[in-house]
Amino acid sequence: MKNDYFEHKAGNYEQDKDRVTNVENIANSILNNVHFDKGMNIMDFGSGTCLLLERIAPFVGKITAVDISESMNNELESKRANLGCKLEIVEMDLTKSKLDKKFDGIMSSMTMHHIKDIKTMFIDFYSLLNENGFIAIADLDLEDGSFHTEDTGVFHFGFDRKIFLNAAVAAGFKNVKITTASIDHKPQGEYPVFLLTGNK
Ligand SMILES: C[S@@+](CC[C@H](N)C(=O)[O-])C[C@H]1O[C@@H](n2cnc3c(N)ncnc32)[C@H](O)[C@@H]1O
């Protein structure tokens, strides 16, 4: 049986203003670094309640939201009517099952630190993309472990940017670059967040 780490968080996930601001910054950074059009079908990996995808939705045709958490997916479902594009919700653990689809781009916000083997994840992203498809992946810089105050299935206390970038390059991605997307302000500290972009 799978563990829904976000079961007791989903309902009030968006009440944390710092979290919302952080994902707003990430979305703006993605919009500044990636070209979108209404013909595109994009995957949002670890889509959560929709904080990222609702900001990208007006610029694409369809978003496929992939998330393991039933409770987060239920929150997202309740917002379907107000999104600016078509939405498909796929409830799955992308590290355990294969998704038989292709996308024009894959975006992700604050999810990779929940993934044990990021090298394999980048290889999977590569195979899920159409030719020239993009990745736009945002996550924490290395931190001291204080970012999470409860267990939500964390495998990494952020990432060293060089190691993260090398994992994307090793999977075959081109034009890979990393920029600073945001600083997540929390009561216990300030946590820089990067955005990695690249193409198949
Ligand atoms: C910290 S939340 C981020 C949610 C959203 N992207 C945001 O920025 O607000 C991480 C999300 O990744 C999902 N997740 C974690 N591991 C996953 C996996 N192996 N497959 C699919 N989703 C996963 C969690 O259920 C959760 O909704």
Quote the mean pLDDT of the chain. 94
Which residue bears the tokens 């294969």? 98
Tell me the domain boundaries of the chain.
18-199
Alpha helices in 139-194 (DSSP H): 161-170
CA dist 54 and 47 (Å) reads 10
Percentage of the chain modeled with pLDDT above 90: 86
Please state whether 90 falls in left (phi above 0), alpha (psi between -120 and 50) or beta.
Answer: beta
* Residue 152 pLDDT: 82
Question: What's the whole-model pTM score?
Answer: 0.95
pLDDT tens, residue by residue, 120-133: 999 999 999 999 99
Q: Which structure tokens are listed for 136?
A: 């736009």
pLDDT at 105 over 60: yes
Q: Which structure tokens are listed for 101?
A: 């689809």
Which is higher by pLDDT, 92 or 5?
92
> Which of 70, 114, 137 has most ligand 1 atoms within 8 Å of CB, for mutation?
114
- C-alpha count within 13 angstroms, C-beta hemisphere, residue 9: 16
Query: Nearest CA to 30 among 192, 181, 183?
Result: 181
Which is higher by pLDDT, 149 or 28?
28
Query: Nearest CA to 136 among 193, 190, 75, 97?
Result: 193
* Residue 2 pLDDT: 59
**One-letter amino acid for residue 107 of the chain:** M
Backbone angles phi, psi at 57, to 5 degrees: -50, -40
When pLDDT is cut at 50, 70 and 90, the band that residue 1 belongs to is: very low
Task: Please work out, in degrees rounded to the nearest 5, the angle formed at the alpha carbon of residue 121 by the alpha carbons of 178 and 101.
Answer: 110
- Average pLDDT of the residues in 18-40: 97
When pLDDT is cut at 50, 70 and 90, the band that residue 16 belongs to is: confident
C-alpha 16 to ligand 1 mean position (Å)? 16
Percentage of the chain modeled with pLDDT above 70: 99
Which residues fall within 8 angstroms of residue 1, CB to CB, at 6 or more apart?
A: none
Distance in angstroms between the alpha carbons of the first and the last residue of the chain:
35
pLDDT at 55 over 80: yes
Number of helices (H) and strands (E), helices first, in the chain? Answer: 5, 7
C-alpha 110 to ligand 1 mean position (Å)? 7
Fold of domain 18-199:
Rossmann fold (3.40.50)
- Average pLDDT of the residues in 75-87: 95
Q: Are 68 and 2 in contact (CB under 8 A)?
A: yes
CA dist 140 and 181 (Å) reads 10
Protein residues whose CB sits closer than 6 Å to any atom of ligand 1: 6, 23, 46-48, 51-52, 66-69, 72, 93-95, 109-111, 114-115
pLDDT at 164 over 50: yes
pLDDT at 179 over 90: yes
- Average pLDDT of the residues in 16-43: 96
CA dist 115 and 29 (Å) reads 22
Lowest mean pLDDT segment, chosen from 6-15, 100-109, 113-122, 143-152: 6-15
- Average pLDDT of the residues in 20-25: 96
* Residue 5 pLDDT: 78
